[in-house]
Amino acid sequence: MNLEEYKGVYIFAEQVDGKVSNIAYELIGEAKNLAEALKTDVTAVLIGSGVKGEAEKLGAYGADRVILVDDPALKEYRTEPYTHALAEVINKYKPEIVLIGATPIGRDLGPSTSARVATGLTADCTKLEIGDFPLTVPAGKEDTQKHNQLLMTRPAFGGNTIATIACPNNRPQMATVRPGVMQKRAKEDGRKFELVEFNPGFTPNKRYVEILEVVKKISDTVDIMNAKILVSGGRGVGSAENFKILDELAEVLGGEVSCSRAVVDAGWKPQALQVGQTGKTVRPQLYFAIGISGAIQHLAGMEDSDLIIAINKDEDAPIFDVADIGIVGDLNQIVPALTKQIANYLA
């Protein structure tokens, strides 16, 4: 494999029901940072049926080029035709880096594609950067560092450590990236980009799954990843009923309630509201951590919030290490008093 042949940062522009998902714009934002470091450009790969109209939005968020694979075989997501489409794009255009969202679709498509093109993939990354690999050269050893590598960082061993992984001997370097972690760029309507239509050729085979029916379930929980204000409760809240005081605070602030895993494990709240390594990654403008100790797996999902206010009766709780404002005391007294003060102020 001639690594020099592989150029450009590519992202898989996931779409559902013909509409590009937010993760695609987040990936373009991060791909732009990597492309600037590598002095190259960003390509979005849009795969689907009747999705050409979405290409413009990818351009507006920063894609320099959109490769469109549009075919009736790609109407709904299925592993085999999507893997074929993305693998053929990689074989033809030879990207240096390919980023895919760590969504249910991406977690299926990423590894099947990396296996098809015989390269490595780092799953569920929370940080990406361009740098040297190995990261350091031990004193007295020969310098065998490779430069301009994609350094892919993700939590490992149950979140107890952070691993930085590279793929120095194969191309492309592939990663799935957690939704909500990377930041999209400002939309620039009418921004110029190149549109390339690519047909990898589809021959239906026996391995194709046939979709008989799509049953959609409407979730009755809010999407905490889009909330600007989150009032998050932990085991310290004490019971499902006592979450009422957090509901009231969220209501006066126009925010949403979320929680730690201990709360989900206790059956007080659904998993969709869990923040953290095995929950959602959030980045609200304001995050209240109420009765949450601040375990590393929880911090992994919220530490990039703009402003963190922690309320905990234990002044040594690790949550105070990441909090901008810390209030030590009983949440049963502090939260209702705070709600009352804010309600009075806003009245």
Dihedral angle of Cα 153, 6, 34, 126, to the nearest 10 degrees: -20
Q: Min. distance of Cβ 217 from ligand FAD in angstroms?
A: 23
CA atoms of 275 and 279, how far apart (whole Å): 5
What's the DSSP call for residue 135?
S
Which secondary-structure segment (H or E) carries 343?
Answer: helix 331-346
CA atoms of 243 and 233, how far apart (whole Å): 7
Tokens of 140: 């007295």
Q: For the chain, first and last CA: distance in Å?
A: 67
Q: Which long-range contacts (CB under 8 A, 24 or more apart) does 51-54 make?
A: 51/15, 51/18, 51/20, 54/13, 54/15, 54/18, 54/19, 54/20
Binding pattern for the stretch 155-194 against ligand FAD, x by CB under 6 A and - elsewhere: ---xx-----------------------------------
Nearer to ligand FAD, 32 or 298 (CB): 298
Q: Find the binding residues for ligand FAD in span 254-313 (CB under 6 A).
A: 260-263, 274-279, 291-293, 295, 297-298, 301, 311-313
235 annotated to a ligand binding site: yes
Nearer to ligand FAD, 116 or 235 (CB): 235
Nearer to ligand FAD, 126 or 293 (CB): 293
Q: Find the binding residues for ligand FAD in span 221-260 (CB under 6 A).
A: 234-236, 260
Nearer to ligand FAD, 149 or 260 (CB): 260
CA atoms of 160 and 299, how far apart (whole Å): 12
Binding pattern for the stretch 123-162 against ligand FAD, x by CB under 6 A and - elsewhere: -----------------------------------xx---
Stretch that binds ligand FAD, among 53-61, 163-171, 172-180, 328-336 (CB under 6 A): 328-336
Which secondary-structure segment (H or E) carries 232?
Answer: strand 229-233
**Total of chain residues touching ligand FAD, rule CB under 6 A:** 30
Q: Is 9 helix (H, G, I), strand (E, B) or coil?
A: strand
Q: Min. distance of Cβ 158 from ligand FAD in angstroms?
A: 4
Q: Is 119 helix (H, G, I), strand (E, B) or coil?
A: coil
Nearer to ligand FAD, 306 or 314 (CB): 314
Which secondary-structure segment (H or E) carries 16?
Answer: strand 15-16
What is the pairing mode between strands 19-20 and 15-16? antiparallel
Nearer to ligand FAD, 119 or 274 (CB): 274
Q: Min. distance of Cβ 127 from ligand FAD in angstroms?
A: 17
Q: Quick check: 327 binds ligand FAD (CB under 6 A)?
A: no
CA atoms of 293 and 46, how far apart (whole Å): 42
For residue 320, the Cα-to-chain-centroid distance in whole angstroms is: 25
Q: Which of 283, 331, 338, 339 binds ligand FAD (CB under 6 A)?
A: 331
What residues form the annotated binding site for FAD? 235, 260-261, 274-278, 291-298, 312
Site residues (vs ligand FAD, CB under 6 A)? 158-159, 234-236, 260-263, 274-279, 291-293, 295, 297-298, 301, 311-314, 317, 330-332
